Chains A and B, each alone.
Chain A
């Protein structure tokens, strides 16, 4: 679509879009909920006004992420996103530094994210620089090489964290080392295989006005933020909206992953592939995550307090567009690892066999909703959640619909979900500790 030009036309167009935008939703959580509009370039903007601080945080969501990385080029999404934040003009970089503006990025399963966070008084200066570098990034061989060197170091550093190592191993197993199961930072071989043309092609394919969207939380008026984004992000290439595959998880034939680590504790985890994140599926998955490992009174809590097997018992649910991956895990002294492993299986089996009671479900619903409120209390976290819901296909306004989805989960519905998802024979066993042989 051709962009309109002319200041007057832009103003009229913007006003029309703002008028047509969905009104701020009245919710039980916020007096005025987040809203969606579109820039003159048709790039969507999800915006939530929040006057709790004089800060603005804006995220540029680029759908794709690890799911969009071709086989054998692990690390491509991360490297490309990193290069969009290289600031060639030292003076501009210094201006941002002086204003304490932060530009960071991440690369997740279904999207890459560039984050601009600043004192609101400095927003225009921040967007001026961000717009320039992101829309026309400097992808020289020197910068690509430097990026690869740092990624190799980051990949190495991840292995010092047993919980993260276990989590990565689960995703790798369920997705056979590709797409969601590829390595975010790549490996020596894949980094070597990535060429400049691959990076340029990835950028041109996904960093387009047809693909990306903004998520913003600010004390400023929505119109002011939108006008600044239109001013400084008018040159995103249009491109085409790329279809990005979302492969489903496949339960591996080999149900155990052992990774050797000479540590005092052993990480013991069980991972399950969960149904896709529909509103109902997301609500049920969230409840199961809270039920199993979040806080005092969770299903795994007794392994800590009564059986004294661990300090850290926890659960974690990673969402992709195709599925969730739920991990239930603990870290225990090596001499207790067999006992802890049996106890973990026993608790999960009991949940699968007997399900939850009505009282437990109600308590879990209360816990899940309160935890979600805390999760979105800060602007930065809320911006991410808004964008994440959009990427997953739930829609940004699921942030105000999650409570209703949780309330709608029935006892029978949750127990049926648990029956289907947590069957013991579908569990992937992940162990990181001194007793395991080398990684397979």
Chain B
């Protein structure tokens, strides 16, 4: 719990695979009394403006409905490479160095993430720099230009990112679990892509994706921060209103199918700890089961003293950390369980974790599951999980960049006409909903499993 933990590179183009970034990004703001202003420009750009006046900061997140889901084996990694180049390699009117210098002069945090579904670009800076921020984002996102030499330069950076991911057992295991969880589906490709595709990529490869997907009609923009809504709307219209209107790319994908057979990978690396990652197919972003699975995830593996680590520690007391994340994507979802423990205990924890999750379909989660005196002593896991979700919402309210990212995700992924207020839907979940969700998504036991343990010493 030392606070000098590893931190992500400030301006590194990060991957949305980091679970914290892609966790259930609900329409947090729709809970608020003043939910901000939503508008759609004539060219199809969807915009959400939300005043958050506690600090003189402005956060802008721009998302495009393009991710690794839109790639093929032959193009796997192009979206990630494109995201890097857009962020760091310049535009038709400015070089990458000039963009970087401008960003620095205006005190901006500047980053981007590629995920299975979306590519998102962030800028956060002093509130007085709103016009620069909007014009900069328009320039890099809609007037992108790159030479082959610049592209080749960024390829080497991407290959370094590959190496870094493969050296990090947590990132590596997560990437492998998600690939194994969706065989035959576009989600089964690594968001990082394939080295050989990245190495061979040409400017035309990139521009093919860029021209198709980086258009106003495929984009959502969220602005959160210290501004007056009417002023910001005027500025957004002025900066983005002249973008051409274009048709939306129509390439809907099939929904991800349940895993038919477990896939197990056991790897050895130069690590000291043991890492075990389990993935289960879960409901998609718009599925009615999402609420129950979110609560179930809190009960089992996320919140304060959840069930799963307690049960695993009765089996092996070397279990250090257990976490559980629900990743709700457009065409399917995943529940990923991550466990760190003494390497020698990883094999038995593989079995114990799967069996424990199988039994989740018959657990009692609420006081109401008990009768008589037992009700008095039973712990109400359900109520606890609902409070934990409220707690998470409270935390999200404090971070402007997180709010903006959540809004963009919602605008681009939601397909429900009336999704309802998120906390209201969570409030309706009862213990039987959790058992049904566990039976449907966890009980069959088919999962993608990746373990990473230290290399055996050579004799």
Q: State whether A264 and B163 are in contact (beta carbons under 8 Å apart), knowing that A97-B379, A295-B110 are contacts in the complex.
A: yes
Contact status A98-B387, CB under 8 Å: yes
* B218 at interface by CB-CB < 8 Å: no
| Chain B residues positioned under 8 Å from A154 (CB to CB) | 1, 320
Task: Judge whether A160 and B384 touch: CB under 8 Å.
Answer: no
Smallest CB separation, A368 vs chain B (Å):
8
Chain B contacts of A440 at CB under 8 A? none
**What B residues does A366 contact at CB under 8 A?**
104-107, 126
Complex partner residue of B88 from A100, A162, A296, A384, CB under 8 angstroms: A296
Q: Is A256 an interface residue (CB 8 A)?
A: no
Is B257's beta carbon under 8 Å from chain A? no
Q: Does B167 contact A (CB under 8 A)?
A: yes
* Distance of A51 from chain B, by nearest CB (Å): 8
Q: How far is the CA of A301 from the CA of B13 in the complex (A)?
A: 13
Q: How far is the CA of A282 from the CA of B156 in the complex (A)?
A: 36
Are A104 and B1 within 8 A (Cβ)? yes
**B394 is an interface residue with CB less than 8 A from chain A:** yes
- Indicate if the CB atoms of B164 and A53 lie closer than 8 Å: no
- Assuming the A-B contacts A296-B110, A332-B160, are A55 and B398 also in contact, with contact meaning beta carbons closer than 8 angstroms in the complex? yes
Could you tell me if B54 and A50 are in contact, using CB atoms closer than 8 angstroms? Answer: yes
Known: A107-B1, A153-B320. A163 touches B387 (CB 8 A): no
Consensus secondary structure, chain B interface: mixed
In the assembled complex, A105 has its CB within 8 A of some CB on chain B = yes
CB of A175, distance to nearest CB on chain B (Å): 14
Interface string of B100-137 (1 = CB under 8 A from A): 11011111111000000000000011100000000000
Taking CB atoms, residues of chain B closer than 8 Å to A52 are 52, 54, 397-398
Closest 6 CB pairs of A and B: A370-B107, A262-B270, A297-B104, A308-B156, A296-B100, A100-B387
Contacts A55-B391, A160-B169, A296-B104 given; does A370 touch B10 at CB 8 Å: no
Question: Could you write out 10 A-B pairs with CB less than 8 Å apart?
Answer: A52-B54, A100-B304, A106-B2, A107-B1, A153-B342, A160-B169, A262-B455, A311-B161, A370-B108, A377-B399
Inter-chain contact B380/A98, CB cutoff 8 Å:
yes
- Let me know if A89 is at the binding interface, CB within 8 A: no
List B contacts of A311 (CB < 8 A).
9, 12, 157-158, 160-161, 163-164
User: A51, A78, A185, A308: which contacts B157 (Cβ < 8 A)?
Assistant: A308
User: What 0/1 readout, one digit per residue, does chain B (376-391) give for beta carbons within 8 Å of chain A?
Assistant: 0001100110011011
Contact in complex: B398, A305 (CB < 8 Å)? no
Q: How far is the CA of A152 from the CA of B156 in the complex (A)?
A: 38
Question: How far, in angstroms, from A333 to B158 measured CA to CA in the complex?
Answer: 12
B167 in contact with A106 (CB, 8 Å): no
CB neighbours of B88 from chain A (8 A)? 296, 305
* Given A262-B455, A366-B106, A374:B2 Cβ within 8 A: no
The answer to whether A305 touches B273, judged by C-beta atoms less than 8 angstroms apart, is: no
Q: Are B167 and A162 in contact, CB atoms less than 8 angstroms apart?
A: yes
Other 8 A-B pairs with CB < 8 A, given A164-B6, A295-B110, A332-B160:
A97-B379, A305-B100, A308-B153, A308-B160, A309-B160, A363-B105, A364-B104, A367-B107
Minimum distance in angstroms from B10 CB to a CB of chain A: 5
- Residues on the B chain within 8 Å of A353, using CB: none
- The yes or no answer to B272 lying at the interface (CB within 8 A) is yes
Q: Does A263 contact B (CB under 8 A)?
A: yes
Q: Does A318 contact B387, Cβ atoms closer than 8 Å?
A: no
Does B4 lie within 8 Å of A318, measured CB to CB?
A: yes
Chain A residues within 8 Å of B317, by CB: 146, 149
A50 to chain B, nearest CB (A): 7
* Chain A, residue nearest B380 (CB): A98
B96: chain A residues at CB < 8 Å are: 305
A124 within 8 A of B: no
**A143 interface residue, CB < 8 Å from B?**
no
Q: Could you say which interface size class chain B belongs to?
A: 35 or more
Please report the number of residue pairs spanning A and B whose Cβ atoms sit closer than 8 angstroms.
Answer: 221
What's the least CB distance linking B450 to chain A, in Å? 15
| Residues in B neighbouring A296, C-beta threshold 8 A | 11, 88, 99-100, 103-104, 110
CB neighbours (8 Å) of A119 from chain B are 387, 390-391, 394
| B11 proximity list for chain A (CB < 8 A) | 294-296, 301
List the A side residues contacting B159 at CB < 8 Å.
333
Whether the pair B394, A54 counts as a contact (CB closer than 8 A) is: yes
Is A410 located at the chain interface by the 8 A CB criterion?
no
Is A224 an interface residue when CB atoms closer than 8 A count as contact?
no
The answer on a CB contact under 8 Å between A164 and B4 is yes
Interface flag for B271 (CB, 8 Å): yes
Q: Verify B304–A97 contact, CB threshold 8 A.
A: yes
User: Do A367 and B305 have beta carbons less than 8 Å apart?
Assistant: no
A363/B272 in contact, CB under 8 A: no
Q: What residues of A have a CB within 8 angstroms of the CB of B169 in the complex? A: 160
Interface residues on A, range: 35 or more
Q: Verify B167–A265 contact, CB threshold 8 A.
A: yes
* Secondary structure call for the A interface: mixed
Inter-chain contact A378/B164, CB cutoff 8 Å = no
Is the CB of B340 closer than 8 A to any CB of chain A?
yes
Question: Which chain B residues border A265 with CB–CB below 8 Å?
Answer: 160, 163-164, 167
Which of B360-388 touch A at CB < 8 Å?
379-380, 383-384, 387-388
Out of B103, B271, B318, B340, name the residue touching A297 (CB < 8 Å).
Answer: B103
B188 at the binding interface (Cβ < 8 Å):
no
Q: Give the Cβ gap from A375 to chain B, nearest Cβ, in Å.
A: 10
Counting CB contacts under 8 A, is B42 at the interface? Answer: no
Tell me the smallest distance from the CB of B374 to a CB of chain A, in Å. Answer: 14
Determine whether A331 belongs to the interface, using a CB cutoff of 8 Å to chain B. yes
A118 to B52 CA separation, bound complex (whole angstroms):
22
Q: Closest residue to B383 on the A side, CB-wise?
A: A98
> Does B442 reach chain A (CB closer than 8 Å)?
no
List residues of A (84-122) whose CB comes within 8 Å of B's CBs.
Answer: 93-94, 96-102, 104-108, 118-119
Contacts of B384-411 to chain A: CB distance below 8 A:
384, 387-388, 390-391, 394-395, 397-401
Instruction: With a 10 A CB-CB cut-off, give which of B168, B391, B401 has the most chain A CB atoms.
Output: B391
Residues of B within 8 A of A269 (CB): none
B4 neighbours in A (Cβ, 8 Å): 108, 164, 167-168, 318
B166 at interface by CB-CB < 8 Å = yes
A374's partner among B6, B57, B320, B342 (CB-CB below 8 A) is B57
Which residues 56-102 of A sit at the B interface, judged by CB distance below 8 A?
Answer: 78, 93-94, 96-102
In the complex formed, the residue of A with least CB distance to B378 is A94
CB of B304 within 8 A of CB of A53, answer no
The yes or no answer to B5 lying at the interface (CB within 8 A) is yes
Question: In this assembly, does B55 line the interface, its C-beta being within 8 Å of a C-beta of chain A?
Answer: yes
Is B163's CB under 8 angstroms from A333's CB? yes
Within 8 Å of chain B (Cβ to Cβ): is A29?
A: yes
Shortest Cβ distance from residue A269 to the other chain B in the assembled complex, whole angstroms = 13
A64 to B211, CA, bound (A): 58
B44 at the interface (CB under 8 A from A): no
CB A87 to nearest CB in B, in angstroms, measures 10
A78 to B103, CA, bound (A): 40
- Closest residue of B by beta carbon distance from A315: B10
Cα–Cα distance between A164 and B159 once the two chains are bound (Å): 22
Residues of B within 8 A of A222 (CB): none
Partner of A369, one of B107, B341, B399: B107
User: Is B347 part of the binding interface, using a Cβ–Cβ cutoff of 8 Å?
Assistant: no
A95 smallest CB distance to B (angstroms): 10
Question: Is B303 part of the binding interface, using a Cβ–Cβ cutoff of 8 Å?
Answer: yes
Q: What residues on A are CB-neighbors of B158 within 8 Å?
A: 311
CB-based contact A153/B318 at 8 Å = yes
Report if A312 contacts B (CB, 8 A). Answer: yes
Residues in A whose Cβ lies below 8 Å from that of B10: 293-295, 314, 371
Whether B314 sits at the interface, judged by CB under 8 Å, is no
A362 and B318 alpha carbons, distance in the complex (Å): 51
Q: Is B56 an interface residue (CB 8 A)?
A: yes
